[in-house]
Structure 1
Amino acid sequence: MKRLMQWLLAAMVLTSCNDWLDIKSDSVLLEEEIFGDYTGVQMAVNGVYREISVTNLYGKNLSWGFTSALARNYLTSGLPTELVEASNYNWKNSSVQEVTESTWAKAYNVIASCNNIIQQVEKKDSSFFNNKDIEKQLILAEMRGLRALLHFDMLRLFCPVPSGTNQGSPAIPYVTRYPEHQPERMTMEQVLENIVSDMEFAQEKLGPLDTLKFVAWTKGRQHRFTSGAHATPLGGDDFLNYRGLRMNYWGATALLARIYMWMGNEEMAYKNAEAIKRFVDTGWFKWTPANNHGNYDAYPEMSDPKRWEELLLGFYNKDNLENFEKAASYDHYFRMNEMEKLFGLETDDYRYKFYNRYNDNHRYLVWERPIASITNMSGTVTTNITHQCPLIPVVRFPEMYHIMIECLINKGQIVEAKALFSTLRIQRGVKEYALPDDPDDLKEKLVYDMIREGLTEGQTFFMYKRLNHDIFNGDRDIPMTADKFIAEYPNNETSY
């Protein structure tokens, strides 16, 4: 009976719907029965993480697929039609609109599930939960953090960059109730206020748990992610475990730095980024070692495909490799044009080797299935396929260095910016090339480092958009205008 009820919960709460907030009223009684047991709540929470990782969201469209094509991370030759058209910013093209509308619909469907869980959990006493108040606060913080993340990425895709001239313009709905059949679009300012409020709530509630209460399970990468070697489960089961795969304190803090940078609030962006750097400085998070970042000339399979020591927050889809292989042609798809132009003379950069040495055809190891070159490497490859390949990177700590460097350049603190930039570059194997003193040249160098760091993970396009920067396609810069950065608002959601 319990298994049946769990299946019904998943079908009821997380099924895709014709409209993005279509709620079935005849499910109310079933919903009350399922949320009457803490295991049902856990099942609903786990279902949200499963759904946020599907191909319509971070399992493809918002990672290696659509947004990476927008950033010209790939040659257009051989790409499917929707990604070719997206690479040309033909937002009105029907195949592009199919992608944007499916992404929008799935995002708000998952937001609805988050809101349902929040409302159900808020009205329950702490004694209801297996881990009492810890579990209640954890769920509320995670769901509000995910709600903020999804709204933020819909805002970044469908709206212009915030500015003094468009703060009062209609943006997207910020949905906080379940059910909500006809939400109203808020202004850019209102949406961002809600995003910050939700993410700061997550940061505040998760901080004492992840950094103090759960310290034995969060300080090591082998416990933050499934690795075959994790500690005794927190709370007697895995619901509280694997904090790198759930909205956590570091993820919320890093995302706040990203959000504030988008808003132009560099003071708060720097503050949150610096908080993450302090954890790096104390060894809580570690830089990927050279040999795990492409430094084996002959054996790229020794690399960590997801650089998981540096990953603050990631999602999980066990079908990542299969989904990529369905989309990719091994002759043409998903290659940058000329990697040498991105790295110039700095071919000692580990990232150059990581991206450029696989079968000598400019492919990326991040999403590709690793294949052992020699027999005694098969164990490494099997481990990577099992534990790293399902990961979907959402935010890494090197991005915090980029944010701090940009803020220092903008404040005129060039010496400090160069020192921090050199620290990052040394960790990536770049040692012999001096950084420019001119602020504009230094910032352009930073842009190219952001590209190197984030290829195929879905963030590069939004970096270009925030900076109103032309887009580098591996060979040359593609001139951009403001309208090219903004996806068409979904046709079936323009009136309420």
Structure 2
Amino acid sequence: MNKIRYHIILAILSLFTLSGCGNWLDVSPENQVTDEKLFDDYSGFRNALNGIYRELSEQKLYGRELSWGLVSVLAQDYDASRLNKAYPEVATYNYDLADTKNMIDQVWIQMYNAIANCNKLIDEIQKKDGSFFPLGEIEKDLIEGEAHALRAFIHFDLLRLFAPSPKVNADGTYLPYFTSYPSKYEPKQKTSDFLQLVIDDLLKAKNMVAHFDSTYAAENGLYSTTWRYSPQSTKLGRFFNSRGIRLNYMAIHGMLARVYMYAGDETNAEREARFVLEHFVASEGGEDALRFATASELTSGKGLNTKYKSEIMFALYDDKLPDLYEEFKTENNTRFALKAWTDFFTEDGDDLRKNLGEYNYETGLYNLLKWQAFTTEVPDVTPNFNLLPVLRLSEMYYIISECRYNATDMTNAQSYLQKVRDAYQADNRVVDMNRYQRELILEMKKEYLTEGQLFFLYKRLNIAIENGGETVNVGNKFTLPIPEKEDIF
């Protein structure tokens, strides 16, 4: 317990004192800031919230390890012979190597640090009246709501990493759920109870951010693909723009769908996924907020729409991402080469997603264009290179499709799966009951390869990983080891 408490206290100190978190906080000359000074002005709350998003975008977390790094290696996305650093051992699920342990330990520490920062922000903002903020109660609710959503999001991924899936053991106790600052002893929760705490936080967050995102939707660009990821000059100010890189109202609904699906609550998972489609997708009767990339966008130029940002509900952001990715590649572009790119398109030669793969004539392998940057003078395209996709529109279709499949409603299961395929001009293919799971996984590979979500898909279903003609039975290695010095409850 002492080790956990130490890291959480350290997290709060780092929130106030570390310049490594970026220039989002103006520290005092002595490099020490008291709680009273930080939160003495409304801007301190804005800076603190931005700081948490920055923390999550660092390489130890979603900037690498929880996107194209650690979890993508675990999902067998890459040719293991082309990996470097500790990743070859990760690809064999050898968690005993010192470098691998350190990588995993840092994920644990940083995520609990971020949770502590969320709890500190929630604790401080609850002491303030709405009149303290320029937009009044709407702004207070927005900031607190996002902090609750972030706390839920981080806890959820901790559970997905460091505890068996509910399908394996929903009643086991593995992790504590922290909701207070300063930190107190929190017992480990049963997985089912832990997931309910995640859901409770998301439901609270949803209601708190709804007022802002409904009242100012047009002005903050929630319904504009361009404005959702590009800071714009509006009367509200930049803090309220770029809602796509913040846990906005529609993203929280999408996150609820993901969490319910992982928990095995398909009724609520389908309901939340349908809510997103019916309210935020024009072709489904909602607003034109989310859409699949058009054919012209996917073929107009090399790498210009590699993230399909018009379908992203929530992404983190790092303007150094392309450079950091390049650091992990050799001169002939061999590191992080894909394991089996062309296999995904054997039966779908017209699928436009194949344009994301770039053939390397020296190695005979493919690399993804997804994480690279390219020269362009189109301002709308540039932010695309810096995005770290977390939640996509396509996942909502996949959730509904899988729920319909499990309800033996194959007509609708096929229909919702085909809607994604149609968006990318893949063939219309009838999928029978015996072939369905294979097709669903194949579709998700095309969408999420190297984004980190595939590992969690295999884990949720508790199935072997198949890629490049190989079958890997991961078994209990789906669960990462909790750092030894932390597991002392």
- TM-score (ref. length: structure 2): 0.89
Aligned to 2:147: 143
Structure 1, residues 192-229: CA drift from partner, whole Å, max 9, x if none?
A: 111000011111222232134323421111111116xx
Correspondence 1:245-264 to 2 at 5 A: 245-264=245-264
> Cα distance 1:46–1:92, how it changes in 2: closer, same or farther (>3 A)?
same
Distance 1:427 1:179 in 2: 48
Equivalent AA in structure 2 for residue 288 of structure 1: A
- The residue number in structure 2 matching 1:492 is 485
Q: 1:68 aligns with which of 62, 68, 72?
A: 72
Q: Is the 8 A contact 1:260 1:268 kept in 2?
A: yes
Matched residue, 1:448: 442
Q: Is the 8 A contact 1:336 1:473 kept in 2?
A: no
2:295 aligned with 1:290:
yes
The 3 A distance-change label for structure 1 pair 357 and 167 is same
User: Post-superposition shift, 1:95?
Assistant: 1.8
User: Displacement of 1:77 after TM fit?
Assistant: 1.4
Q: Report the Cα offset of residue 181 of structure 1.
A: 5.5
Pair 1:397 & 2:393 matched: yes
Deviation of 1:110 (Å): 0.8
- Taking the aligned partners of 2:464 and 2:374, their CA distance within structure 1 comes to 33
1:321 maps to a residue whose letter is: P
Aligned pair partner of 1:48 in 40, 52, 55: 52
1:223 matched to 2:227: yes
Say if 2:161 and 2:480, in contact at 8 Å, map to a contact too.
Answer: yes
What letter is aligned with 1:68?
S
Q: How many residues align?
A: 461
Aligned residue in 1 for 2:108: 104
Stretch deviating more after TM superposition (109-118 or 214-223): 214-223
Deviation at 1:446, TM superposition (A): 0.9
1:316 Cα shift? 0.9
Report how far residue 11 of structure 1 moved: 5.0
State the distance in 2 between where 1:181 and 1:318 align: 36
- Pick aligned residue for 1:434 from 429, 433, 442: 429
> Residues 61, 233 of structure 1: CA spacing in aligned structure 2 closer, same or farther, 3 A cutoff?
farther
Q: Answer yes or no: is the 8 Å Cα contact 1:312–1:396 preserved in 2.
A: yes
Deviation at 1:27, TM superposition (A): 10
Question: Is 1:37 aligned with 2:31?
Answer: no
- From 456, 460, 467, give the equivalent of 2:461: 467
Tell whether the 8 Å contact from 1:145 to 1:199 is kept in structure 2 after alignment. Answer: yes
Residue aligning to 1:194: 197
SS of the residue 2:390 aligns to: strand
Cα distance, 1:388–1:139 mapped onto 2, change above 3 Å:
same
Q: Give the letter for the 1:141 counterpart.
A: G
Give 5+ residue unaligned stretches, structure 2.
1-11, 22-29
**Hey, what does 1:4 align to over in structure 2?**
none
| Letter matched to residue 494 of structure 1 | D
Displacement after TM superposition at 1:370 (Å): 2.3
The one-letter code of the counterpart of 1:77 is S
* Distance in 2 of aligned mates of 1:14 and 1:51: 11
RMSD: 2.4
SS in 2 for 1:456: coil
Q: How does 1:107-256 map to 2 (within 5 A)?
A: 107-163=111-167, 166-180=169-183, 182-216=185-219, 217-226=221-230, 230=232, 232-234=234-236, 237-256=237-256
Q: Say if 1:343 and 1:96 are closer, same or farther in 2 by CA, change over 3 A.
A: same
The Cα shift of 1:430 comes to: 0.7
1:276 and 2:280 are equivalent in the alignment? no
SS at match of 1:395: strand
From 337, 340, 363, give the equivalent of 2:339.
337
* Alpha-carbon distance between aligned partners in 2 of 1:357 and 1:210, rounded to the nearest angstrom: 42
- The answer as to whether partners of 2:80 and 2:91 remain within 8 angstroms in 1 is yes
Measured after TM superposition, the shift of residue 36 of structure 1 is 1.2
Query: In 2 relative to 1, CA 468–166 (structure 1 residues): closer, same or farther, beyond 3 Å?
Result: closer
Aligned to 1:90: 94
Between stretches 461-470 and 199-208, larger displacement belongs to 199-208
Greater shift, 253-262 or 353-362, is seen at 353-362
**2:251 and 2:391 in contact (8 A); partners too:** yes
Give structure 1 stretches of 5+ with no counterpart.
1-7, 18-25, 372-377
Offset at 1:33? 2.1
Runs of 4+ residues deviating >4 angstroms: 8-11, 13-17, 26-29, 356-361
Structure 1 counterpart SS, 2:313: strand
AA in 2 matched with 1:336: L
Task: Quote the offset at 1:452 in angstroms.
Answer: 1.1
- Is the 1:354–1:365 contact (alpha carbons within 8 Å) kept by the matching residues of 2? yes
* Counterpart residue type for residue 388 of structure 1: N
The corresponding residue for 2:313 is: 312
What is the one-letter code of the residue matched to 1:485? F
Give the Å deviation of 1:357.
5.5
Task: Note the C-alpha offset of 1:13.
Answer: 6.4
Distance 1:181 1:27 in 2: 27
Cα displacement string for residues 294-339 of structure 1 (whole angstroms, at most 9, x for unaligned residues): x35xx423x4021110010011111101211112224321121232
What is the deviation of 1:67?
Answer: 0.6
Shift of 1:259: 0.5
In the alignment, which residue of structure 2 is the partner of 1:21? none
User: Are 2:291 and 2:393, in contact at CA under 8 Å, matched by a contact in 1?
Assistant: no
Distance 1:399 1:364 in 2: 20
Secondary structure of the residue that 2:80 maps to in structure 1?
A: coil
Q: Give, in whole Å, the separation in 1 of the partners of 2:13 and 2:383.
A: 28
In 1, distance between residues paired with 2:172 and 2:132? Answer: 43
Contact 2:226/2:380, CA 8 A, preserved across alignment: no
Equivalent residue, structure 2, for 1:346: 348
Per-residue CA deviation, residues 4-42 of structure 1 (Å, 9 max, x unaligned), is xxxx9975266799xxxxxxxx99981112211111111
CA distance in 2, matches of 1:197, 1:358: 47
Q: What one-letter code is carried by the residue in structure 2 that aligns with 1:251? A: A
1:168-195 superposed Cα distances (whole Å, 9 cap, x missing partner): 3221111111121644322212211110
